[in-house]
Structure formats: structure tokens, C-alpha cells
Structure 1
């Protein structure tokens, strides 16, 4: 799906682009999506603007119609840094709804389509980089390994007051090299804000716009173009998360629904590409997610959802039926 097709399908109101003087030939595009981040967006943008590089880079800042002062802060930064920041002011009617949830997908994909760089990096509006040479180190790595499509580094988790604390997410971050096959199959899943990757495609599969776990889909796509390596010489970035306890029942349900939808769309995409092996691989992952969901609902005495997920597991595992 090209940019015009994307806008035709999802854009109801024209996106306003704030005036800028960004060069037309940056090497790296840094994509920043922000919504209600008034307490964090300054730190985020400063950490990118302070990057020391021997190449030009641009910041594509997508402001998703915040209800706090985030939009005003973004305008102020764009006005003061016209050579670096391209600010896009979004309308709420353009938001893409998935599983009944309003997402920031339109904002993120719009940034991707508008990116001019040969390489893409991400930083969410409530996160921040902690290494002023991060971008330079990413690019230096690509110069010495032409098989790479992506590289990444480690991160720390911080709370709303920027206090460090340990989370299970940190343990999921891989700390080693990842082959193209492993990327394709999602065997390892680096946090997207720690990655930098080659912009090896300009069009986005329709299926990718229909999932909440966009990063899972993206990493699988990148596996078609090369390998990934871990860069231990980049100082860990700060990933902000609100300190809390276990997932609530509602959040767990949404988590399973999101995974099932993502695996369904990956299954459909690879089947459309004639890759039956990967299509079956993601069908099996979907079946396994139904099984895990069934166990969860059984333990929480939700027997209707338990039976429904058991039935979906059986259909997915043993029959070639389409359903969700």
C-alpha cells in the first residue's frame, strides 16, 4: 500500500505540516509519536537534538491531538529548530480503530511514509535517549557490515519521575545478534525505540496497518532483507513505563486479542506472498495463543471465554477455517 492508498483509506482530515527548513537529503529519519506527553516530550526532543553526528538527520514529530499542552510544546520546539524538526499536527478523526481501541497507528505510519532518510530510528514522546553518539554508532555499524538490515541496543525502564526500576520487559530484550530467519519468525523482539534499520521498503502491507503490535509485524518484514546485531557500545536508552502490578483481566484479554490479530494478519500476508512455511508458522503461533488464553480464562473462572478459545484453538490447529 503506497502513501496515496494509505491516505485514501484512512485520512479523513488533511494533516497540517508545520513550516520547517529541513534538508531534503538527511541520512537518518527519527520518528517521534507523541500524545499527552507534556511532562516528557521536552526531554525526548532534547535527547535527539543533542545527538552528535557527521551526517544530517531529521526529526519527524507526529502530535496526535493531545488534550494537554503537548501540542503547544511541539510547536515551540519546531519553531525554534526548523532545520531539524518536521512537525505534523494530526486530527483525531484520522485515528485507526483496532479491536475497538483508538490507536496511534495513523500517526506512526504517516511519519514513516514522510521519512526522507535512508535509515529509520524511533523514540516515543515519553522516552529519551541517553547516549549523545547513539545515531553515529548505529550508522558506523552499518558501514562495516553490509548484511545488516537492523541494529539495536539495550535500555532501562523508568517511572513517571524518571526513577529506575526493574520490569519483566527488560528481561525480554535480546542481547545478541539475530539472523534474518529469526527476525522473520519473531524469535527475538528488540524494543523498537532501541533499533535503527534501513528503509528497505517504501510501501506498507495493508495487513500491517490493521494490527496493534506494529513492531512485531515490522521486525518480521525486516527479516526479509538481512540480519540484526546488538550494539553493546550504545549507552542504554530510557523507556518509560508506569510502575504497576499485574495485568488486569481486561488488559490481559486485550493482550491476547492483539496477539491473535497480529499472528492472523502475518499469516494472511505471508500466504499472499506465496510463503506457505511462514504463513503456517504464524498460524501455529496463533493456535498457541488461543491455548494460552484458554488456560488464563479457565483459571479466572470465565468458562464462556474458556470454551470459545478452546474451540478456536481446535479450528486453528486442525482445520483450515478462517475466523477471529
Structure 2
């Protein structure tokens, strides 16, 4: 048996797939591994690229060429069914690894920690649209249970114990005779981690091993409403699947998802239907000439864009998770001081506005604090 099978799904990834494959081929290990690429009938040149790579590296690469487009989930499942390794690692065709010892480190960990079924690492986030790297995601925790994972999922933020696809490795034995939910789940990341944690512990190590690309053509970005529906469907399936002792955690997670969906609807309404004049009228009426924006994501940038060529100055963004660029100065909340004074600070994540407002007040912020919901 091979030690590791790396699975990669690919669809219309011609711009990124070479970087992804090269990062797998360049792994330095003391064991043999394989790379299984599921190519899902791309409409671009992805298929010919992966065939060229298979011809170049026949001892490593095995292709899973779909005869018709089957979708990401079925493509992923068929990849896993082809695996012959003791452990399975995953990498999407538009992400890539930056640590040539990524696989070796995880094999050493799982070999030495038989009570663990899954492990991951930290990673970088690259935003294709802005050509910026966001804050590195490092959530070190070397031993957590299913209950720990579900408790973290009840909070209004991305679950820090959720292992990103590009960093994970798990025992193939977890998926021997898997339950029906493995096949019925709309996507695999969440359910594979649930199944692993039912049979052992998880771990996240602090090394940063890869780059997760926010790509406008991925399903999470291209059709956000559909992805939100899939996420809700997934959580409800897991609610029915897991024992009742976990129900309260999952229900809270589902309730939070509804609140976040309201936020996404507001974001879409703001981006598409609220014009600059509406915002400008609010600021003029309230005698606001310069602002800080709490949240340097999509909504924060949309506000800045709508205020371009007006007399309202966006002095800075406040964000704990995003790195600044020259056109977008960003400070951390704890860096706010008397020199950071502006007439108002606009809170874009309204679903957490109370906690953010309390945080700013504790930091002695004297500016007017406005939730985006109030502004609209």
C-alpha cells in the first residue's frame, strides 16, 4: 500500500493547475505517494494540461477523467474511491502548497499519534481580485474532539477548528464503509471532518503550508447564494445524523447561518442598489466628513468605492484579519489611538455590531460608531 494519496479536483483551472500540480510533485518525502486528479470536463484547457503532466510523471499521477461534467462533489467522491494510500491529503486545482515537507510532516504526525484521525496546518489567503494576501490563518490546536469542533461552530465567525481542504490529511480507514451522509452531503470538507472526529481526534499545527486562493470563478464566490444553501443543507443533514447530545450546538450553528444570510442579502442589496448619493446624503446630514471602516472585506471596499470622487474621506480600515495595501491602509483594533480620530466608524459586519461597538468603546474610541444597517 502507498503511504499517501493526494486527491485534486479540477474544473476550468487552466490558469492555476500547473502551480497546484508542481507543488505536489515537489514534495520531499521518505515514502511513495500518488496524485489523483479528477478532471470534470472543463471548457478550457485544463484537461490537456493534466494529461501532459500524467505523461511526464506516470509514476505519480493518475487521472480520473470524467466523461461528462458530474459536479464537484461526485468528482471528489470518485477521486477518493481511487485512492490506494494509507492516508489521504487534498488540494484543489486552484490552490497550491508552499512547504515541500507538508506531506512528510503530516505522515510523521499521524504515524506517531494513532489516536488522531485528521490533521491540518495554517495557510495563507490570496485574494485574486485585489492581488493581496490576507492575514495568515493559524489556529494551533494539537488535540481537539468532535464536541470541541461543534462548540467552536456556534460562534459568529469561521470555525478555527475547521481544517481547510488544502492543509488536511486523514486516515483512509475512516471512509471504509462510510454512512449514507458521506454520499448525500452537498460538499465534502465538513462531513469528512465530522466522520474523522467521530473516530478520533483532530490537530492543527502552526506551520503555514499552502495558499488558499479566493477565485471569483469558484463555487464559493461565483454563486454565493447557492453555496449558502448547500451549507445550510449540509448542517441540517448533520443535525439529523449525529446523536442528540450534539443537537444544541448544531442548531445554534444553523441559527447563526440564517443571521449571516441576512448579512449577505444586505451586502448584495448595498452593492447593487444603494447609490453614492444615498450614503453621501446620510453623511452630510450628520456632518460627517471623514470615516474609518470596520471590516476590510467586500462591503468595506464597496463603501470606499461608492465614496470615491466625493468629499468624504476614508481615512483607514480596521480589521484583524486582512493585511493592508498601499491603496487601503489597515489598522488593528488595538492600534486605534487619539491620532486615529475620525468623525465616524462604520461597522460593516452588522451581525456582530454589538460586540464590535463594545470593543471600540473599551478602546476609548471617541468617534461616532455606526452600524451599516443604520446607514441604510
Same-fold call, TM cutoff 0.5? yes
| Aligned equivalent of 1:85 | 61
The aligned runs of 1:28-47 (5 Å cut-off) are 28-47=4-23
| SS of residue matched to 2:246 | helix
Of 167, 170, 192 in structure 1, the residue corresponding to residue 165 of structure 2 is 192
Deviations 1:211-246 (A, max 9, x none): 3342111111111121122223x44311111379xx
Structure 2: which 5+ residue stretches go unaligned?
A: 154-158, 270-376
The aligned runs of 1:1-324 (5 Å cut-off) are 25-93=1-69, 95=70, 103-160=71-128, 163-166=131-134, 170-171=136-137, 174-180=139-145, 181-183=147-149, 186=153, 188-199=161-172, 200-232=174-206, 234-242=207-215, 251=223, 253-270=225-242, 275-293=243-261
Is the 8 Å Cα contact of residues 182 and 223 (structure 1) preserved in structure 2?
A: no
In the aligned structure 2, how far is the partner of 1:54 from the partner of 1:114?
22
Is the 8 Å Cα contact of residues 159 and 243 (structure 1) preserved in structure 2?
A: no
More strand by proportion, 1 or 2?
2
Is the 8 Å Cα contact of residues 150 and 249 (structure 2) preserved in structure 1?
A: no
**CA pair 163-130 structure 1, distance change in 2 beyond 3 A:** farther
Is the 8 Å Cα contact of residues 150 and 250 (structure 2) preserved in structure 1?
A: no
Deviations 1:67-103 (A, max 9, x none): 111100111111121111110111335x2xxxxxxx4
In the aligned structure 2, how far is the partner of 1:243 from the partner of 1:209?
27
Structure 1: which 5+ residue stretches go unaligned?
A: 1-24, 96-102, 302-324
Is the 8 Å Cα contact of residues 162 and 240 (structure 1) preserved in structure 2?
A: no
| Structure exhibiting the larger radius of gyration computed from Cα positions | 2
Q: TM-score by structure 2 length? A: 0.61
**CA pair 69-144 structure 1, distance change in 2 beyond 3 A:** same
Is the 8 Å Cα contact of residues 147 and 226 (structure 1) preserved in structure 2?
A: yes
RMSD (Å) for aligned C-alpha atoms: 3.0
Following TM superposition, by how much is the alpha carbon of 1:175 offset from its aligned partner in structure 2, in angstroms? Answer: 2.5
How many aligned residue pairs are there? 259
In the aligned structure 1, how far is the partner of 2:247 from the partner of 2:49?
44
| SS of residue matched to 2:182 | helix
Work out which structure has the larger RCO, using CA pairs closer than 8 Å and 6 or more positions apart in sequence: 1
Is the 8 Å Cα contact of residues 163 and 204 (structure 2) preserved in structure 1?
A: no
| SS of residue matched to 1:142 | helix
Following TM superposition, by how much is the alpha carbon of 1:177 offset from its aligned partner in structure 2, in angstroms? Answer: 2.7
In the aligned structure 2, how far is the partner of 1:279 from the partner of 1:146?
28
**CA pair 72-283 structure 1, distance change in 2 beyond 3 A:** same
Is the 8 Å Cα contact of residues 87 and 171 (structure 2) preserved in structure 1?
A: yes
| SS of residue matched to 1:52 | coil
| SS of residue matched to 1:209 | helix
| Aligned equivalent of 1:314 | none
**CA pair 46-279 structure 1, distance change in 2 beyond 3 A:** same
